[in-house]
A and B are shown apart, each in its own frame.
Chain A
């Protein structure tokens, strides 16, 4: 049986205040430290794999040899020029709406028409589906000398995936770089 508390004691509850100053000190040190090492800008990396110590001009003359080996290759090339973007493979260049000029010309406000480029590439992707091309996911990007880096990255962004029937399918995610167009 527990003892009954003594009636004589008139202890008032002690009012102790928690000393939070050391915790405050800790916070003041920790917060600047964490701010300094925080990741403010999210970085990303795009991988491009180039065969070692070899020039990266894929497609081209390889086409005929591989045809003999029954090894179908698409050799898709995307060429960025100052007047627009052309889509080509080893044999032919895909024509645009006009006779001359690139496959995807510039839009009216002098910027590259990525949406149209993507549309054309989706058509190609759909057409080659199931035909057993070895490099159905590969595209070679080439550009004129003075094309800005950002444009190349934008093109690469737009040829990665596409959506069809609520599915995200790969378009041409394996990107290589080809030599400069003169």
Chain B
């Protein structure tokens, strides 16, 4: 059974309280400033996943958004589209045919854009490799890139402090 409300407290007037938001506003302003400072307009350059952990490096310049070739431990992706699974890659071949075909398509598009609207074809490609991929695979990817008109390669890394 619920307690009966106390008679003496029944006629107590409710105290009007106002919430002091000043300190909260201060906090919000600081957070806002901090976030504006680290604001980036380029959007996500890499999509992190379990299969794609970028290696850490001390050096490195500021990345630009270019065509990205991601070499995850299970698949190769171009602009976040899966092209070929790593276990389907032919051991004996230096070139990865599926990747080459896709890159040639992109190169064709870029050249067309250069003709149509004057956007310069930079030949640049960002290679995002998982830290565990073997050199053989990396070399094959780089070889394929250089064969399909993307010869300015950049390795994307996480900057260690």
Contacting pair A153 B151 (CB below 8 A)? no
Give the contacting residue for A31; candidates B35, B38, B46; CB below 8 A.
Answer: B35
Contacting pair A20 B135 (CB below 8 A)? no
Taking the complex as formed, is A1 at the interface, i.e. its CB lies under 8 A from any CB of chain B?
A: no
Q: How far is the CB of B65 from chain A (nearest CB, A)?
A: 11
Taking the complex as formed, is A168 at the interface, i.e. its CB lies under 8 A from any CB of chain B?
A: no
Taking the complex as formed, is A46 at the interface, i.e. its CB lies under 8 A from any CB of chain B?
A: yes
Contacting pair A147 B135 (CB below 8 A)? yes
Binary contact track B4-24/A, C-beta < 8 Å → 1, others 0: 000000000000001001001
Contacting pair B159 A24 (CB below 8 A)? no
Q: What is the number of residues of chain A that contact chain B, defined by CB distance less than 8 Å?
A: 46
Give the contacting residue for B36; candidates A17, A34, A46, A177; CB below 8 A.
Answer: A34
- Chain A contacts of B21 at CB under 8 A? 20, 24
Taking the complex as formed, is A6 at the interface, i.e. its CB lies under 8 A from any CB of chain B?
A: no
Contacting pair B58 A157 (CB below 8 A)? yes
Q: How far is the CB of B33 from chain A (nearest CB, A)?
A: 10
Closest A residue to B27 by beta carbon equals A27
- Chain B contacts of A144 at CB under 8 A? 135
The stretch of B79-87, B112-120, B138-146 in contact with A is B138-146
Q: How far is the CB of B80 from chain A (nearest CB, A)?
A: 16
Q: What is the number of residues of chain B that contact chain A, defined by CB distance less than 8 Å?
A: 56
- Chain B contacts of A53 at CB under 8 A? 146-147, 149, 151
Contacting pair B153 A150 (CB below 8 A)? no
Given contacts A31-B28, A147-B134, contact A157 B45 (CB under 8 A): no
User: Which B58-108 residues have C-beta < 8 A from chain A?
Assistant: 58-64
Residue pairs across A and B with CB atoms within 8 Å: the count is 157
**When chains A and B are docked, how far (Å) is the Cα of A147 from the Cα of B131?**
10
User: Which A1-48 residues have C-beta < 8 A from chain B?
Assistant: 17, 20, 23-24, 27, 30-31, 34-35, 37-39, 41-48
Give the contacting residue for A50; candidates B28, B54, B55, B153; CB below 8 A.
Answer: B153
Given contacts A30-B32, A43-B46, contact A38 B152 (CB under 8 A): no
Q: How far is the CB of A170 from chain B (nearest CB, A)?
A: 12
Closest A residue to B54 by beta carbon equals A43
- Chain B contacts of A45 at CB under 8 A? 60-64, 126, 154-157
Contacting pair A46 B38 (CB below 8 A)? no
Q: How far is the CB of B67 from chain A (nearest CB, A)?
A: 13
Return the 4 tightest CB-CB contacts between A and B, nearest first: A44-B60, A34-B35, A143-B135, A150-B131
Q: Which residues of B are in contact with A by a Cβ distance under 8 Å?
A: 18, 21, 24-25, 28-29, 31-32, 35-36, 38-41, 43, 45-46, 48, 54-64, 123, 126, 129-136, 138-139, 142-143, 146-147, 149, 151-159, 161
Q: Could you list 5 further interchain pairs (A-B, Cβ under 8 angstroms) beyond the known A44-B59, A145-B135, A153-B155? A: A37-B40, A42-B161, A43-B158, A44-B159, A55-B143
13 pairs, CB–CB < 8 Å, chain A vs chain B: A24-B28, A41-B48, A44-B157, A46-B154, A47-B153, A48-B153, A49-B151, A52-B146, A56-B146, A149-B133, A149-B135, A152-B138, A157-B57
Q: Which residues of A are in contact with B by a Cβ distance under 8 Å?
A: 17, 20, 23-24, 27, 30-31, 34-35, 37-39, 41-56, 80, 143-150, 152-154, 156-157, 160, 177, 179-180
